[in-house]
């Protein structure tokens, strides 16, 4: 059977992917939108016939059942389709990762911080403004901005020339290429913003669960300080303006870890792969009406306008851990049993052992990504493996998060 697939990967912690499918004879269109959580990918099927993309069958790749998409029209968001860098020797294309991620722990320190970062300035309220994700915004070809071209492969999906970093030569990582809409082995082309041409900034594009840190030059965004943002670049509409960093899903001013005065009162200077950034402590500043100051692991707290689940404040049972998915001001938290992916008996017969965040694995109820109802009401079918070969159910909030 021929499958023509679009995987929408919008990976704030290792992320989750929403699945959207459309039937047209033997064609299945999948749109996977990644959420913020310490998991893999999630899937929600929404049948619709009008969303089938126009394709150019004359550009079909040999040996690939997936028909490439037309990308000749400039993107609606008006970001560059090609870019070059000052760091690279010669001209090099600069595809940006489509995977939106946000990590709440285990992030490296800053690679570079603007010279004026130590000057304190007035900050916006701790809550900022929660704006919708741009993962489903249409690009010029009519597909979601974060769409990837994938074909069905066994129990999973094939979305490019690689699936994980170990498929790539040393020094390269498996990164989503925004131009080709495929996963490809790419190397870093910058280490700081100064290595990119005006209008571009240097950002991490490798996935947060990746063993390689790959940085590429991507367009500056439109979102202002305090507004929610796509932690990894999806489109200019979801990225931060010049001089701001998207840290833990919010546009924040840069700072210096060694200088407490580089952040406004009530904020802390936190390290991340894109540089240190100020983040509000809602325990000190509070949250606006209707929002809750919620623990998102360790000593980190965040204002959320929608919360489902009471862990980690309410401890999980012995042998369980608190899984979480936090994106754009909404969070879902639930306890799941710890497991060993090398020991099938560590989960029940109807469960799989998948990514639970960082190096931890937890059990998930098994589901079929091709069956929109396999998880039932209140849960979403998600991929819990890097190669999208294992799928399990996770709860979602009232807004469908």
How many Cα atoms within 13 Å fall on the side-chain side of residue 350? Answer: 5
pLDDT of residue 191: 92
Angular region, 229: left φ>0, alpha ψ -120 to 50, beta rest: beta
**How many structural domains are present in the chain?**
1
The verdict on residue 386 lying in a domain is yes
The verdict on residue 254 lying in a domain is yes
Domain span at 91:
5-395
- Prediction pTM value: 0.63
pLDDT of residue 217: 93
The verdict on residue 323 lying in a domain is yes
Residues (pLDDT < 50) of the chain are: 1-127
The verdict on residue 400 lying in a domain is no
Three-state helix/strand/coil letters over the chain: CCCCEEEECCCCCCEEEECCEEEECCEEEECCEEEEECCCEEECCCCCCCCCCCECHHHCCCCCCCCCECCCCCCCCCCCCCCCECCCCCCCCCCCCCCCCCCCCCCCCCCCCCHHHHCCCCCCCCCCECCCCCCCCECCCCCECCEEEEEEECCEEECECCCCHHHCCCCCEEEEECCCCEEEEECCCCCCHHHECCCEEEEECCCCCCCCCCEEEEECCCECCCEECCCCCCCHHHCECCCCEEECCEEECECCCCCHHHCCCCEEEECCCCCCEEEECHHHHCCCCCCEEEECCCCCEEEECEEECCCCCCCCCCCEEEEEEEECCEEEEEEEEECCCCCHHHCCCCEEEEEEECCEEEEEEECCCCCCCCCCCCEEEEECCCCCCCEEEEECCCCCC
How many Cα atoms within 13 Å fall on the side-chain side of residue 306? Answer: 15
pLDDT of residue 370: 81
pLDDT of residue 163: 85
The order of strands in the sheet holding 320-327 is: 306-308, 330-337, 320-327
pLDDT of residue 373: 85
pLDDT of residue 197: 94
The span from the CA of 172 to the CA of 314, in Å, is 41
pLDDT of residue 292: 92
pLDDT of residue 49: 27
The verdict on residue 401 lying in a domain is no
pLDDT of residue 25: 31
80-134 pLDDT, tens digit per residue, is 223 333 333 222 222 222 222 222 222 232 222 233 333 333 334 444 555 555 6
pLDDT of residue 272: 84
* Strand 21-24 with 27-30, pairing: antiparallel
319-354 pLDDT, tens digit per residue, is 999 999 887 788 999 999 999 988 989 999 999 998
The verdict on residue 231 lying in a domain is yes
The span from the CA of 42 to the CA of 400, in Å, is 11
The verdict on residue 205 lying in a domain is yes
pLDDT of residue 355: 85
pLDDT of residue 82: 30
Q: Is 389 exposed, middle or buried (0-12, 13-18, 19+ CB in 10 A)?
A: middle
pLDDT of residue 131: 57
pLDDT of residue 19: 37
Number of neighbours of residue 346 by Cβ within 10 angstroms? 16
């Amino acid at each position: 059977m021929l499958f023509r697939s679009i995987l929408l990967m919008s990976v704030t912690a290792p992320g989750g992917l929403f699945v959207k499918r459309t039937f047209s004879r033997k064609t299945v269109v999948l749109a996977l939108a990644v959420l913020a959580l310490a998991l893999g990918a999630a899937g929600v099927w929404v049948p619709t016939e009008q969303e089938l993309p126009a394709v150019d069958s004359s550009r079909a790749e040999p040996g690939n059942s997936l028909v490439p998409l037309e990308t000749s029209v400039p993107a609606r968001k008006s970001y560059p389709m090609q870019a070059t860098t000052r760091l690279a020797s010669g001209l090099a294309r600069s595809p940006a990762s489509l995977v939106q991620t946000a990590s709440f722990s285990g992030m490296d320190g800053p690679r570079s911080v603007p010279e004026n970062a130590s000057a304190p300035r007035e900050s916006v309220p701790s809550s900022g403004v929660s704006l919708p994700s741009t993962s489903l915004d249409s690009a010029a070809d009519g597909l979601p901005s974060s769409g990837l071209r994938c074909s069905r492969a066994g129990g999973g999906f094939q979305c490019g020339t690689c699936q994980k970093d170990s498929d790539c030569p040393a020094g390269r990582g498996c990164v989503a290429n925004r131009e080709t809409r495929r996963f490809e082995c790419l190397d870093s082309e910058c280490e700081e913003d100064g290595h990119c041409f005006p209008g571009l900034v240097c950002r991490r594009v490798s996935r947060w669960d990746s063993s390689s840190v790959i940085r590429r030059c991507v367009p500056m965004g439109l979102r202002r300080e305090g507004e929610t943002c796509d932690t990894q670049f999806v489109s200019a509409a979801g990225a931060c303006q010049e001089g701001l960093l998207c840290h833990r899903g919010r546009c924040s001013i840069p700072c210096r870890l060694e200088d407490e005065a580089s952040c406004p009162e009530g904020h802390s200077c936190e390290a991340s792969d894109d540089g240190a950034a100020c983040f509000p402590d809602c325990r000190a500043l509070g949250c606006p009406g209707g929002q809750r100051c919620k623990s998102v692991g360790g000593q980190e707290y965040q204002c959320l306008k929608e919360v489902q689940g009471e862990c980690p404040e309410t401890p999980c049972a012995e042998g369980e851990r608190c899984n979480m998915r936090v994106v754009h001001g909404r969070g879902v938290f639930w306890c799941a049993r710890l497991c060993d992916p090398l020991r099938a008996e560590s989960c029940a017969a109807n469960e799989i052992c998948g990514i639970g965040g960082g190096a931890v694995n937890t059990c998930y109820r098994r589901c079929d990504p091709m069956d929109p109802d396999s998880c039932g009401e209140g849960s979403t079918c998600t991929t819990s493996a890097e190669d999208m070969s294992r799928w399990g159910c996770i709860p979602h909030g009232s807004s469908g998060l």
